[in-house]
């Protein structure tokens, strides 16, 4: 469906996403958020699910497939994985699933840390337009956008997460 004005409440979507993930809890999963939106969501999910384990943060700049065209992203953040990946159930978290290329890069990066038992993907929004065989394990919002539009998750002054629609 087309995005409506106002855009959905991202905080409420985080709570819905947490409920979708909850059945995985007996597997003792760890969350890895993709900068920057996914990192904020992973932080929320960690609180909502009451996970003890610190969340991991991933910046896929060193693994992107568009380096030859675009060069290195000017603001690379350090990837932080404060736990052993080997044998763990990883929940990769991102704000928007689009082409699937970021997910591909993130999975490649994860595997440089070890061999996880499983990797699932949790996203708030799925806007279609896939260029790779990637699908979200959990998503709360399927949204159709024009190619020139982009959906951006922001952290507002009080730390609240909110959507913004950009027209290029």
Partner 1 sequence: MHNPQLNANGELTHLLSTEGLPRAIMTQILDTAASFMEVSAREVKKVPLLRGKSVFNLFFENSTRTRTTFEIAAKRLSADVINLDIGRSSTAKGETLLDTIDNLCAMHANLFVVRHASSGAPYLIAEHLRRIGRDDIHVVNAGDGRHAHPTQGLLDMYTIRHYKQDFSNLRVAIVGDILHSRVARSDIHALTTLGVPEVRAIGPETLLPKHLDKLGVHVFHDMAEGLRDCDVVIMLRLQNERMNGALLPSAGEYFRHYGLTPQKLALAKPDAIVMHPGPMNRGVEIHSAVADGPQAVILPQVTFGIAVRMAVMSIVAGN
Residues of this chain that interact with partner 1 (CB under 8 A) are 59, 61-63, 67-68, 70-72, 74-80, 108-109, 112-114
Q: In the complex, what is the shortest distance from the CB of residue 119 to partner 1, in angstroms, rounded to a whole number?
A: 17
Residue placing its CB nearer to partner 1 in the complex, 3 or 114: 114
Grouping H, G, I as helix, E, B as strand and the rest as coil, residue 2 is: coil
Residue placing its CB nearer to partner 1 in the complex, 76 or 165: 76
Q: In the complex, what is the shortest distance from the CB of residue 28 to partner 1, in angstroms, rounded to a whole number?
A: 22
- Cα(151)–Cα(21) distance, integer angstroms: 23
Supply φ then ψ for residue 64, to 5 degrees.
Answer: -70, 150
Q: In the complex, what is the shortest distance from the CB of residue 76 to partner 1, in angstroms, rounded to a whole number?
A: 4
Residue placing its CB nearer to partner 1 in the complex, 72 or 132: 72
Q: In the complex, what is the shortest distance from the CB of residue 138 to partner 1, in angstroms, rounded to a whole number?
A: 28
What does the DSSP assignment read for 90-149? EEEEEEEESSSHHHHHHHHHHHTT---SEEEEEEEEE----SSS---SEEEEE----TTE
Residue placing its CB nearer to partner 1 in the complex, 26 or 71: 71
- Cα(15)–Cα(44) distance, integer angstroms: 8
């Amino acid at each position: 469906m087309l995005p409506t004005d106002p855009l959905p409440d991202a905080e409420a979507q985080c709570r819905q996403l947490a409920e979708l993930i909850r059945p995985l809890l007996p597997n003792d999963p760890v969350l890895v958020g993709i900068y920057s939106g996914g990192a904020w969501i992973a932080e929320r999910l960690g609180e909502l699910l009451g996970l003890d384990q610190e969340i991991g943060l991933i910046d896929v700049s060193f693994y992107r497939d568009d380096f030859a065209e675009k060069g290195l992203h000017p603001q690379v953040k350090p990837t932080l994985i404060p736990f052993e990946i080997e044998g763990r159930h990883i929940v990769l978290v991102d704000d928007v699933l689009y082409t699937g290329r970021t997910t591909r890069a993130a999975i490649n990066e994860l595997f440089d840390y070890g061999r996880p038992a499983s990797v699932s993907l949790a996203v708030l929004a799925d806007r279609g337009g896939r260029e790779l065989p990637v699908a979200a394990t959990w998503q709360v919002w399927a949204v159709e956008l024009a190619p020139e539009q982009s959906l951006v998750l922001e952290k507002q002054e009080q730390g609240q997460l909110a959507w913004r629609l950009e027209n290029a």
